[in-house]
Structure 1
């Protein structure tokens, strides 16, 4: 009885620990995207002031669409390209690095991101801080998904729920604290508690199983069957070795059915977030232009949080449905930028919430299906490698959103 109670306590500790890791790992990333509009606006105003550039005040009834000179897609690229580089390369070497070392690196880069942006004196210093957040998030995601392979599969849903929690709590805390009167800089300094929570969760909360401390070996790959050899009666009798680069490249092919839908969802999703959000504002309503951008982020992250926490209740097996629906959202909101046919911001909020639901569902269902479908022998590599899909999609979205934003702004569209 005592043993079962101990196991149950360990299970809940691990679920709570993985949830917190998900929260902390994505928090800096979310904050940087929520703050993107303010970061760019602040730096542009500084530049204008330093160069004694004066601008004619605009009336409250704005006739033409107003834009930042630099799209928030620039912040998105700074926030995702380092992550993509890490994810593309990490599965091939990172298993040789201790999890403790990796987590400490995540903590330090996350802390640096908040501090650098808080004390930034120029746009490139701000972007350097965003890059630090990206390194922390990318390294963390490959680390924690690989780490999850040592535990029961429910820790994946806990971690995914935590990343969704980072979205809603990150966006909400930023919007709430800035709306309450704190400056963006002070708000970012408050957020330095997050790296400390990450450290505590990994080193003190999660109860690591004995097999985590044992040297990791992979069963020998069989060319004849195109699969790994099955477990024998005695693990000591297995022919064990680590996967070679060739083996790992071969294992990427069956992952494509999971990765391609996820990638397309994220291309559409982040094109909306960083290419269209700041162009979807309404004039003369109860929210300013800046506040509308912030609360779009909160609304989107609420949808992500709900869907990333729902896989044990509602599981989606046909992953291709999700990119189709997300592309439809792109079409609707792009049309809104040009035609302004949606008369009320609440309708936009509903669409944005649905966008977040689709994005979160794609993420958690993809990794949950991988954890169910892939054999245990190479699950650790597969879960780490599949994280490439969302980052690749986000990178493409950022690259597309910048010229799109600039082109739309050059058209002088009437509001």
Structure 2
């Protein structure tokens, strides 16, 4: 063989080796790209879906007259959400049409915020809040159900972790937005925020990967395995998920079938073991958390700091009305950090420790009630402010940990609880229903908290006035 032939063979072999290396690198980078797009999509879903809810709560002092208890805002901001979370998973049957749901939620949110911005009457603004609340509740339910359509479980856990992180970011972003734009007034500030829901359909159609894209990537069996670096498993065949999967299923089997849907008896059978394990801890945390935020925090007021004695605080607090949005900002910032714990790579709480955040919350609530009513930390305004700041930060951490860990655990349980049916569509609907049913517990906790918060705020304000502290009367 001539030297020229040997040289050509060597070049061809080198080209093939380079191509093989490029293919290997591309194969390794593909899962990372898909997981990044999935995580970013669910992060945006969580943030945009919840941000209007937070803006409304942060703007509570500006949306109603000072004589109106701020708890009415919380009541109107959660009751329609609770109705949505009860109605859709418990009443409706059959396959979920995700695209139609999300477009409907987007339009309803925009409509609700425009109503709040354009009208000045309390009744009309509360009606707009109800529209936005219903959209937010249905949206949260839908995104959590959407996470169960991704497989293997590590991918589902990935999506839940980033969705929870997005909801936490919504708190921080929403409170920050209102802190910045509240000087523009309700009409301009709320009006500008009404365009934010349009991000949801854009993300769904342009960024979110299809669930089938993860079926042959050899990803870890569970999200916890992925965090600690366990070896990957074999490929996982995904279940039918959306409109496209329905068409694929029809191509496989053209025989007419009766539509599949879970009965109320079957749903109750699925819910019963979830009540003490997941729902009660989440209900307790949200009951305590929102009683603090809406019933106690508006009364945690101190003198306006002077620039000469407290130069840093004077940059933040310019009037008595600045304390309440500041507490909301502190709370939302710590909620964001704790809800992002799983997406940051921290291990989830064991199931047996899920009630722990509620226990800590009860201690915090007791201390803040005593501070508001009796001024137990009033040895100096700076000391009282610092202690309240720390307690509200811990409150946010507990609330965020409860949320992300409960939904992470129920998401992973979708694959550990065996179904009585071998039908893939029925198994899929059971998974979607289980995670959807949990939302009832946090919303019912918030609703009860709104009823408790209204008289709590009034009584604490009376207790402060009785000892000569009149700050809450001047709001």
**Range class of TM-score, shorter chain:** 0.7 to 0.9
2:41 is aligned with 1:21: no
Q: Which residue matches 2:394?
A: 354
The separation in 2 between residues aligned to 1:173 and 1:111, in whole angstroms, is 17
Match 2:411 to one of 365, 368, 371? 371
Q: 2: CA distance between counterparts of 1:130 and 1:314?
A: 36
Distance 1:240 1:188, change over 3 A: closer
1:283 and 2:335 equivalent?
no
Partner of 2:273: helix, strand, or coil? Answer: helix
Change (3 A) 1:100 1:12: same
Q: TM-score, normalised by structure 2?
A: 0.74
Looking at structure 1, the residues matched to 205 and 167 of structure 2 have their Cα atoms a distance apart, in angstroms, of: 19
The CA distance in 2 between the partners of 1:189 and 1:84, in whole Å, is 25
**5+ residue gaps in structure 2?**
1-22, 213-239, 248-257, 306-313, 379-383, 417-426, 470-475
1:201 alignment partner, SS class: helix
- Equivalent residues of 2:285, 2:402 under 8 A apart: yes
Q: Deviations over 1:362-403 (max 9, x none)?
A: 000001111222337332111111111110100000011112
Q: Counterpart in 2 of 1:80?
A: 78
Measured after TM superposition, the shift of residue 22 of structure 1 is 0.2
Distance 1:184 1:263 in 2: 32
Report the equivalent of 1:132: 131
Aligned equivalents of 1:365, 1:147: Cα separation in 2: 17
- For residues 94 and 61 of structure 2, what CA distance do their matches in structure 1 show? 37
CA offsets 1:342-372 (integer angstroms, 9 cap, x no match): 2331221111111110001000000111122
Matched, 1:144 2:143: yes
- Say which of 333, 356, 363 aligns to 1:321: 356
> Mapping of 1:286-325 within 5 angstroms?
286=314, 287=317, 288-311=319-342, 312-317=345-350, 318-325=353-360
Contact 1:84 1:391 in 2 (8 A): yes
Q: So what's the TM-score if we normalise by structure 1?
A: 0.84
Q: Give the gaps of 5 or more residues in structure 1.
A: 45-67, 217-238
- Aligned residue pairs, count: 366
* Structure 1 residue 72 displacement after superposition: 1.1
Residue 207 of structure 1 aligns to a residue in which SS?
coil
Aligned to 2:236: none
- Matched ranges for 1:37-56 at <5 A: 37-40=61-64, 44=65
| Contact 1:161–1:305 (8 Å) recurs in 2 | yes
1:408 corresponds to: 460
Answer yes or no: is the 8 Å Cα contact 2:94–2:262 preserved in 1. no
Quote the offset at 1:263 in angstroms: 0.3
1:339 maps to 374
| CA deviation map 1:254-281 (0-9, x unaligned) | 1111110110000000000000111111
Instruction: State the alpha-carbon separation in 1 of the partners of residues 263 and 185 from structure 2.
Output: 50
- Distance, in Å, in 2 between the alignment partners of 1:165 and 1:326 is 21
Q: Distance in 1 between matches of 2:94 and 2:399?
A: 28
User: Could you report, residue by residue, the CA deviation over 1:60-90 in whole angstroms, capped at 9, with x for unpaired residues?
Assistant: xxxxxxxx32211100000000011111121
2:34–2:209 Cα contact (<8 Å) kept: yes
SS in structure 2 at match of 1:327: helix
Greater Rg, structure 1 or structure 2? 2
8 A Cα contact 1:28 1:113, kept in partner: no
The alpha-carbon deviation at position 4 of structure 1 amounts to 4.5
Tell me the residue number matched to 2:11: none
